[in-house]
Structure 1
Amino acid sequence: MNRFNNCLKQFIMIFLVWICIVLSVSTQVSLQQIISDLDVFKQQIYVDEGGDISVQCNTTELPDKAIYWTKNKTHTTFHRDGIFLNFTRINRTDHGQYICHSFDNKTHVLTEVETVMINVYYKAEVKSIRIHPQDAILENDTYFVYCDVEGNPPPQWRVRNNYTKELLDSARGSGPLITRSIKGKCGDTGPIVCEANNTLNKQPAYMTENFTVYCSPRPSGNYTNVSIGYVGGQAFLIMNLLGYPYPNYTWSRDDGQPIRHATQIDYPSFTVLNMTEIAVSDFGYYSVTMENAYGNFTAQFQLKAYGAPETPFNLNYSDVTWNSVRLYWTSGFDMGSRQYFFIRMLQGGNSYTTISNSIYDNSSSHGVGQNWTYLQTGLKSDTDITLTVQSVNGYGYRSRILYSVTFHTLPSPNGSRDKTKIIIGTTVASVSVVGIAAWMVAYVAYKRKRKSTYHNIN
């Protein structure tokens, strides 16, 4: 009985060992098969469109076996016999999975040997573009852009307004694509472009479609409404705008005067007032009105003067004494920056030196047509003297030298000197009652002998 039990135990142990060996081999075979299958499905072949490739099925050719290839697990659209799968000048339509089959003519067993993924790379292309709605829209209405993009590797595509260069949407992918909802803005009128590229494109492929947004006219961003001009020079008043249909433009002067020395030049998206041979009368404020069927807008511009003030003119003199002379002149435009005058005396025959205080112009007309009187004292007696008047404005520019006047002072009476200076014009000066009376007496005397003492050099 004990012997039987021992034999039974040995048999059971041998059986268990055998079971473990069988299970181990079976498990190893199954794992190897799984790993093999994973390797098969991971097999990738990359080729550029137009290239040639040859793929060999991983099996042995035997007389009793038929080997053939199908595509994408269908036998109807693609079938090619033989252990080799050859492509000459491969096309993008050849992209896909290919399965090698082995059919045993004896056993009639069909086996899928392996699967190969052929990746055909080709440049990105834009096949079509469409905007919905296709008709023109009003400002703030929404629209979509449809793009049909193709390429491998999957391309990066972008939709932008080709006029404003604004990026409207972008993503990566291939096939019919649609943008997000986009709000139409004034100024978007122009071509919408869909472009795409991948690693094979040197330049993006693109396609455009015209697009229209109706809106009232308005300035395009910040516009410069002040232009600087010089007398005798040229300046431009430029109005850049948004708006469609393109508006009509009307330029005018704010003071109601006609526009002179200017040419109006109109373009679809901007208008220009070309100022040439600028005169003092051209400086001031201008307006341009833009109008289309959807509204209007008026913008104001200023043509601002710059440069040296005008040269004073009509220089005359009277009341020559042993140490003084009375000067008269008419001032010109100060170029928009307050000016002052000073008297200059010729010395040495070729240079002038300033001998007066500053005579400020506080007139409301900026000096245009203002008459001035100034009593210059401190002159040398019994001497030929040449004087002129010059102006300087707040820009630091000096006028040209005015024609001078020349006279001879009287001999000095007992060496006395009168250093009184009086300015009479548009400026305000504090003078005493005695001074005013003295001036009136001098003025009456001046009127009596005007013919002999008043010299007009112009």
Structure 2
Amino acid sequence: MVRKIKAQKAQTVNISWTIEPFPHGGQYLIHQTYRGKNLIFIMRKDNVSYGENVSKEKFIYLSQPNNSVNIMFTIRDITLDDAGYYNGGVTADSAWSGGGVVLIVTDRPSKPTITGPFDVEVNKHITLPCSSKSTSAPDYYSRLVSLSYTWFVNETKMDGETRETLKFNVTRGDKYNKYSCTATEEDLKSERSEPVQITPLYLDKPALYKNNSRNLEPMWTVKENKPLHVACFVDGNPTPTVRLIKGHSEIANNTNNSKWTNYTAKLCEDTGDYTCEGSSNWFSSHNQTVKIDITCKLRIDKSVPLQTNYSSTSGNNVKVAFAIPVIANPPPQASDITWMGPTDHPLTSTVSQRNVVYKHWINTFVPINNHSNFGHYVMKYKNEIIHNITINAQDRPQQPLNFMAYSYASGYVNLTWTSGFNGGSEQFFILRMSDDTGWKIIANLTDPGREETVHFEHGPLTPGQVIVYRLESCNVINCSIQSVEMKVNVKDISKASLTGKSEVFYTAIGVSAGVSILIVILVVVLVIFFRRRNEKKNILNNEITQDGAEMYAVVDKSKTSNNKMKDKTGTSGATKDDYGSNRNSTSGMYAAVDKSLPKENKLEATISTTYSTDKKEDESHHGTETYAVVDKNITKKGGESTTKTKLIKTKKSKEKNRGTKGSLEEKNASPVGSRKTNDEGLIYIDVDFTNKPESSDTNQKPVIHGEEDRTEYTFVDFSKKAPPTPETHDKEGK
């Protein structure tokens, strides 16, 4: 009979059985049978030996004497490999003859594992199995062992759960729970399984938010440029894909495991249906839709190609069609659309909707009856300018105008014509002539511009020849419908103009002569300038001034004439002036200098050509006057006189003038001939104004230079008036 011995791993166990009698051969073999047959002991009457690879410290034979029928031995620190069937006999085969002991080694069950699925929809049941098995040996024993189980949730033991499987209803809160278990065999408890976490699956319906507030209305209406914040929220586990769709196009989605997506609508183009959609791998998608209506004023839609320039021919029933893309919400009214442009009658428009409610076409037809309808057109909506369009001509050019041809020299023909309307494109002119072979092109000329004259010279030709010319204008479209022709008889006379080489030769001579003349003029001007500047310095050095002040004389010629001035006193003969000059009508005039208006370092005086005829007038002057004596004896070439002026200071008293008459005559002694003087012995100024000034400004007063460039000339004021000169020559003639 086989006996069972059960022991836990790592314990020490004694195994024994009896035999009758001990073999006569004096030898007994003990074997272990488990996963093969192993020889443990060889017992003889006088000794005990061990099988190969058997540890003497682990297996210890206890029976005494060695040939005793009570077989007993000890196994220390047993392992699962030590389990099996132990028996003995004379041979190896006799170890299965019956009897012996079966050693069962028990150990902790294997570490359990919990298998899924762990992703379960909310409100559905889940079954969690705790998988473990016995590790006891031999195998045929462990298969018969039953294990018990313990379940834990978040490290807490679940009461009453001892089954191998755990079943429960899933809630959203289970996503925060972790489940584990252990297995037990005869008080030997396994390690705890790895915890598992349940994923409760769910997907809520989407929610739409308007400016951060939940809004369930089916339509939201706002004005353009007033921001509208649209938000879409979808709750679910796992985190769903959240999309915001406008029409059929996605405009926003969630990122970084967020359950939100948003969009800001503020333009008219944002008008449309918005759908908030949530989806995941476990559920079909859920969505919610809202209609957003953004009102806006009419404007051009720049998202599509926009034509601003059109080309057209002109004539009856010729029209240009406009299709202008616009954006407006609500749709524009055709009655509010007006046009301005070079049209013969008012234009009307129609409105049609495009693919969305806020996009439209404004359709207009413009009749182009003639060239006057080409130009710039302006579209207005409610009197506000919306769009500009230009219609350009695209037609055949007009035939040349005023075509003329004439022979002006032997063998040469001059042709002229006027450029007409070019049809809207750059035009050119083709000139042909007829010969024996037909028409041939003799010139291709560019257009100088509308209504400009074109010139062309044809030659040399055979004198007496009769030529027919044909002229037409052309552009990229075609040539003019009609051409113009002209017949010319080539003259047989000498050509009036020089040949090309002669013209170049004489032109070069003319240019050279002109340049030479300019150089001579420039040299003369520079010489005159420097001479005048030197003369001015000399005069300034010799000029008599009062207290260092400079004075200028202004001469009035309003009372002068081309006749010789007459002496009011009627006396004849020559009178000596202060410088010894004779007083006659041809010698000079005197000018009174007014020093009452002094300037800084300069005394400006007005010299009036006054002719004193009464001594009482002389007495009426108070103070001292300075007179200017003008010497006209120095005459330039061509009759131009150079006038020198000297300043004489004298007292205006009647008595002194009489008392000093003799001395004045001596002082006025001069090598100059007889001059006209007044009773006070002052010499009149003769000013020659016959030479025209170089300036072409007829409104400018004649000026004797000196006020600014400081030459020897004086500034002449013609607003002053002087008495007539003495009639000396008239009396001499009597």
TM-score (norm 1): 0.53
Matching of residue 400 in structure 1 with residue 488 in structure 2: no
- Choose the corresponding residue for 2:449, options 337, 340, 361: 361
The residue number in structure 1 matching 2:39 is none
The residue number in structure 2 matching 1:116 is 196
Amino acid at match of 1:190: G
> How many angstroms apart in 2 are the aligned matches of 1:417 and 1:101?
130
Q: Is the 8 A contact 1:342 1:389 kept in 2?
A: yes
Matching of residue 243 in structure 1 with residue 331 in structure 2: no
CA gap 1:246/1:332 in 2 versus in 1, 3 angstroms = same
Superposition deviation, residue 211 in structure 1:
0.3
Percent sequence identity is 14
> How many angstroms apart in 2 are the aligned matches of 1:417 and 1:161?
86
Superposition deviation, residue 208 in structure 1:
3.2
- Choose the corresponding residue for 2:313, options 194, 212, 231: 231
- State the structure with bigger RCO (CA 8 A, min sep 6), 1 or 2: 1
State which drifts further: 136-145 or 56-65. Answer: 56-65
> How many angstroms apart in 2 are the aligned matches of 1:216 and 1:285?
24
The residue number in structure 2 matching 1:210 is 291
Per-residue deviation, residues 426-454 of structure 1 (Å, max 9, x unmatched): xxxxxxxxxxxxxxxxxxxxxxxxxxxxx
> How many angstroms apart in 1 are the aligned matches of 2:377 and 2:250?
32
Per-residue deviation, residues 295-324 of structure 1 (Å, max 9, x unmatched): x74223223426565242678768689864
> How many angstroms apart in 1 are the aligned matches of 2:418 and 2:456?
12
Superposition deviation, residue 91 in structure 1:
9.8
Matching of residue 290 in structure 1 with residue 376 in structure 2: no
Per-residue deviation, residues 113-172 of structure 1 (Å, max 9, x unmatched): 8853233678x78645454664412234344435342555413424355499754x7445
Superposition deviation, residue 189 in structure 1:
1.6
Q: Is the 8 A contact 1:136 1:211 kept in 2?
A: yes
> How many angstroms apart in 1 are the aligned matches of 2:437 and 2:346?
46
> How many angstroms apart in 2 are the aligned matches of 1:243 and 1:405?
55
> How many angstroms apart in 2 are the aligned matches of 1:211 and 1:150?
24
> How many angstroms apart in 1 are the aligned matches of 2:432 and 2:118?
92
> How many angstroms apart in 2 are the aligned matches of 1:338 and 1:413?
35
Superposition deviation, residue 273 in structure 1:
3.6
CA gap 1:86/1:144 in 2 versus in 1, 3 angstroms = same
The residue number in structure 2 matching 1:26 is none
Q: Is the 8 A contact 1:100 1:113 kept in 2?
A: yes
CA gap 1:302/1:66 in 2 versus in 1, 3 angstroms = same
Amino acid at match of 2:289: T
> How many angstroms apart in 1 are the aligned matches of 2:442 and 2:120?
88
CA gap 1:314/1:142 in 2 versus in 1, 3 angstroms = closer
The residue number in structure 2 matching 1:107 is none
Quote the RMSD (CA, aligned, Å): 5.8
CA gap 1:318/1:101 in 2 versus in 1, 3 angstroms = closer
> 1:330-369 counterparts in 2 under 5 A?
331-335=420-424, 339=427, 341=429, 343-345=431-433, 352-355=440-443, 358=446, 360-363=448-451
> How many angstroms apart in 1 are the aligned matches of 2:483 and 2:125?
97
> 1:238-317 counterparts in 2 under 5 A?
238-249=323-334, 250-255=337-342, 257-258=344-345, 264-267=350-353, 268-273=358-363, 280-291=371-382, 297-305=384-392, 310-312=397-399
Which structure: greater strand fraction? 1
> How many angstroms apart in 2 are the aligned matches of 1:310 and 1:52?
91
- Choose the corresponding residue for 1:190, options 254, 265, 272: 272
> How many angstroms apart in 1 are the aligned matches of 2:449 and 2:289?
63
> How many angstroms apart in 2 are the aligned matches of 1:248 and 1:347?
67
Per-residue deviation, residues 184-214 of structure 1 (Å, max 9, x unmatched): 333322122334455789x987543210122
Q: Is the 8 A contact 2:244 2:261 kept in 1?
A: no
Per-residue deviation, residues 236-281 of structure 1 (Å, max 9, x unmatched): 6444334322222414133464367x97453352324465886645
3-state secondary structure, aligned to 1:187: helix
The residue number in structure 2 matching 1:20 is none
> 1:92-111 counterparts in 2 under 5 A?
96=175, 97=177, 99=179
CA gap 1:229/1:84 in 2 versus in 1, 3 angstroms = farther
Amino acid at match of 2:300: P
CA gap 1:91/1:399 in 2 versus in 1, 3 angstroms = farther
CA gap 1:360/1:165 in 2 versus in 1, 3 angstroms = farther
> 1:154-169 counterparts in 2 under 5 A?
154-159=239-244, 161-162=246-247, 167=252
CA gap 1:143/1:401 in 2 versus in 1, 3 angstroms = closer
> 1:125-136 counterparts in 2 under 5 A?
127-129=206-208, 131=210, 134=217, 135-136=220-221
> How many angstroms apart in 2 are the aligned matches of 1:174 and 1:414?
103
Amino acid at match of 2:313: V
3-state secondary structure, aligned to 1:360: coil
Q: Is the 8 A contact 2:419 2:448 kept in 1?
A: no
Amino acid at match of 1:269: K
Amino acid at match of 2:197: M
The residue number in structure 2 matching 1:149 is 234
Q: Is the 8 A contact 2:300 2:387 kept in 1?
A: no
> How many angstroms apart in 2 are the aligned matches of 1:344 and 1:234?
36
Matching of residue 55 in structure 1 with residue 128 in structure 2: yes
Q: Is the 8 A contact 1:141 1:184 kept in 2?
A: yes
Q: Is the 8 A contact 1:68 1:81 kept in 2?
A: yes
> How many angstroms apart in 2 are the aligned matches of 1:276 and 1:352?
42
Superposition deviation, residue 386 in structure 1:
4.1
State which drifts further: 60-69 or 146-155. Answer: 60-69
Q: Is the 8 A contact 1:129 1:145 kept in 2?
A: yes
Q: Which runs of 5+ in 2 are unaligned?
A: 1-110, 135-144, 185-191, 499-734
3-state secondary structure, aligned to 1:389: strand
The residue number in structure 2 matching 1:383 is 466
> How many angstroms apart in 1 are the aligned matches of 2:161 and 2:379?
76
Per-residue deviation, residues 349-394 of structure 1 (Å, max 9, x unmatched): 566424375452245xxx9xxxx797865465433524122145xx
Q: Which runs of 5+ in 1 are unaligned?
A: 1-35, 105-111, 421-458
| Greater radius of gyration (CA) | 2
CA gap 1:300/1:143 in 2 versus in 1, 3 angstroms = closer
Superposition deviation, residue 217 in structure 1:
2.6
> How many angstroms apart in 2 are the aligned matches of 1:311 and 1:58?
104
Amino acid at match of 1:186: C
3-state secondary structure, aligned to 2:268: coil
The residue number in structure 1 matching 2:165 is 84
